[in-house]
Amino acid sequence: MAALDSGASAGRRWLIWSIPALIFLIGFLHRAAPGVIAKELMQAFAITGTVVGLLSAMYFYAYAGFMVPGGVLIDSVGPRWVVAGGGAVMGVGSLAMGLAGSPAILFVGRLLVGLGAAVTFTGALKIAANWFPRSQFGMMSAVTATVGVLGALVGSAPLAALAAAVSWRGALLIIGAATLAGALLCAAIVRDRPGRAEDAPPGASLRDVLRGTLQVLGNPHTWPPFLCFFFLYAAMGNLFLWSVPFLRDVYGLTTTTAALYASVPSVALLVSAPLTGYLSDRVLRRRKLPYIVLTAAQFLVWFMFLLTLGTLPLSGVCLLFVLLGAVGGAFVLTWPLGAEVNPPELAGSAVAVTNLGGFVGAALTQGPLGAVLDAGWTGALIEGARMYPVASYRGAFALCALFVLLAGLISLLLTETRGENVYHRLRPAGTPTGSARPRAQGPP
């Protein structure tokens, strides 16, 4: 297996993985950004909560639309150039948003950001699969996901502070320049696998990988993790989008202070996400059981949040945010669950298809939740931006709780893999093992 090449030292493995992971971090920062600068966007372009929701969702539409084709490219072309190209597109999109003179340009820039970000997570995981032992894939999935959580953390209070210092436009221009620099580093330093290029095993053709992707889509065991992530990330993505406006409107906080409180779930996830992956891989040796337990616990926290909405002191809200992050680590098991029920040689495609669920969920729900807020708006404005009452937020967050409940019910249909690839046991007798040629790289 390539990842065990003796020439690939631990330090080199981590260096090669860290660059696409950094680009993924910036992509995740962009997911959280509209919530932090929502007030400034409403002021600058005279837009409503529905439009802010649609702007945020534009990222997820692009991300979801290109995720599967991006996985196909990663499996056929290799992650190095695909991630570098994605970073360049994301950087251009961020610059376009910072320079936007109209909502149309703002939406185009957001679309480019989502398009470029679509390949970053799958690419970072593919690098991890190629460079690290297969037994560490669950852990590396969790660590990579934790990098994304760190991006959400950077996209909260630090982004709010940067926007306060240089304006929201200046912040987006700085982020765009940093993304372009990351893309250049990826092209210059990252390699698809250990060893010399001429020694690498031949990859599958684009036609083979497309055929294999259809096989992943046709596998009924792919869909429970897809749907679980659809509903879990629909809830979490909307929390990231609307928690800063909620804390500003209901508790009278400044944007920077509200962003600091809103970052609490991300801080908790920095611990819970890798811990969940470690416990699943090394202690419990289970995927389904922790997923069910953590998702059920997440629904209970959402339910408590709804019951006390607007009545708890800030310390109580902070505690509930900590709990949401602490039990929110179930999502890191989504990708191993999707990969381990599909052929090992279709690693990038299986992860991309499974990951697609979360972004379709966020894309389809952020605009409607913004419309729920607008429906309850009483006409109050703060410096030209809409101020929503508690009742509006209760209606929007009730939908988030419903999403988590649905994820918990669907998690009962997950296939328990015990951390091993079980595709050979799941496929009907006589079914070929895969349409793409077998390759050494890829998660189990």
Consecutive 10-residue averages of pLDDT for the chain (444 residues): 53 91 93 85 87 90 83 84 96 96 94 93 88 76 82 87 93 95 95 67 63 86 94 92 92 90 89 85 86 96 95 94 92 87 79 84 90 89 83 95 96 89 71 42 32
Question: What phi and psi, each to the nearest 5 degrees, are found at residue 77?
Answer: -90, -40
128: amino acid identity, one letter = A
pLDDT at 11: 83
Q: How far apart are CA 3 and CA 307, in angstroms?
A: 49
Closest by CA position to 3, among listed 444, 345, 440: 440
pLDDT at 109: 95
Q: How far apart are CA 121 and CA 149, in angstroms?
A: 12
Tokens of 86: 């994605």
Q: Is 382 helix (H, G, I), strand (E, B) or coil?
A: strand
Calculated CA dihedral for residues 161, 162, 164, 166, nearest 10 degrees: 160
pLDDT at 205: 62
CATH code 1.20.1250.20 for 7-192+213-424? yes
